[in-house]
Chain A
Amino acid sequence: MSREDVLVSADWAEKNIGADGLVFVEVDEDTTAYDGGHIPGAVKINWKTELQDAVRRDFVNKEQFEALLSQKGIGNDDTVILYGGNNNWFAAYAYWYFKLYGHRNVKLLDGGRKKWELDNRPYNTDVPERAATTYTAQPQDLSIRAFRDDAVKAIGVQNLIDVRSPDEYAGRLLAPAHLPQEQAQRAGHIPTALSVPWSKTANEDGTFKSDDELRKIYADAGLDESKDTIAYCRIGERSSHSWFVLKELLGHRNVRNYDGSWTEYGSLVGVPVALGDEPGEA
């Protein structure tokens, strides 16, 4: 796996707008960004209303995912280029999600909307009309998804990587600072988890740092490459970004994203929680 297999540059993307077999997909929490302007030809996916079940807390199932991609006009053989705002958090989440359901050719646009806008590259507001397809998904690849029991069992045994901000890790904040701090669950982190904020892996313009820089970040944090790894954050989107770095850019094996993340773990009864800036004991 090399960087070119999973990531495209803004230059490459601009030159390939409208190319056959290529579909740009914008994924955001707030789809008004897309409505105000997007990469020409891009379709939008709302990560919350289209990728999450509307009632219980889980993903849409295989059949719903098939219906969604068919309706968006995305075929099994298309190369999907994902991008979005928030430093590609939700685009990375969708990347992991497309991998979970077995899509073959999917890549991230390095830097997402931010790099694109700072470079003054073109947007338009036309909503493309793509003919519906008959998309076939694979069963979920659970080798890349961790559940709450996996997280508890990993304490002191596997690499747990907490990718939230240092204040969220320590328990001083419950959510990222652009969101109201209204949650009721406990603050802190999973004991023995290493704090490696997702932002350490990205440059200020939202592009990923070099492989050498990325390797050094995790080595300095104390990640043991001989062990399996689980990444988590608050709701699983920032940890998809770090999952992408560890699995797709650095090629680590057995890296899973715990999508339940702190909003689930921090509300479980009876599990251990560590407070403060240190990982804590198992």
Chain B
Amino acid sequence: MSTTNVDGCGAPDQAAPLPASVDVEKETVITGVVQAGEAPVAGAYVRLLDATGEFTAEVVTSPAGHFRFFAAPGTWTLRALSRQGNGGTTVAADRGINTVALAVA
């Protein structure tokens, strides 16, 4: 699959590469890096929960700790499980690229 980097929120290094077919004008992308301290966490399990706390999706972070979801505008909770520890955060997502920092400890 061909991919392209899409800059967003002034932190392009935080965004996972997107397939060229994805229209960022229409999609609500929630993306970021799982970190333990300063170090990215590869192989972490990141799940996206909706505003009621219900599971919506789960991905495994890339070797660089990246995760990415295609969601919809609204409030979402992210939850990460890893051998380095667990963590979570909430995000108010808009259409386009939403970049989130997710720390585990």
Contact = CB atoms under 8 A, between A and B. Distances in A.
Contacts of B50: 165-167
A205 B81 contact: yes
A22 B50 CA distance: 40
Given A180-B19, A182-B21, A199-B55, 20 more contacts: A114-B45, A117-B83, A118-B81, A120-B83, A165-B55, A165-B56, A166-B52, A167-B56, A176-B56, A177-B48, A177-B70, A178-B70, A180-B21, A180-B22, A180-B27, A181-B70, A181-B72, A199-B54, A204-B79, A205-B81
Interface string B43-70: 1010110101011111110000000111
B36 interface: no
Contact of B54 (A117, A176, A197): A197
B83 A178 contact: no
Interface in A111-128: 114, 117-118, 120
Given A118-B81, A166-B50, A167-B72, A181 B27 contact: yes
A182 B27 CA distance: 9
Contacts of A165: 50, 54-57
Nearest to B26: A181
Nearest to A168: B56
A179 B70 contact: yes
Interface in A192-207: 197, 199, 204-205
Interface of B: 19, 21-22, 27, 43, 45, 47-48, 50, 52, 54-60, 68-72, 79, 81-83
Contacts of B55: 165, 197, 199
A87 B54 contact: no
Contacts of B71: 173, 177
Interface of A: 33, 85-87, 114, 117-118, 120, 165-167, 172-173, 175-182, 197, 199, 204-205
A109 B59 CA distance: 19
Contacts of B56: 165, 167, 173, 176-177
Contact of B72 (A87, A120, A172, A205): A172
Contact of A177 (B19, B45, B60, B69): B69
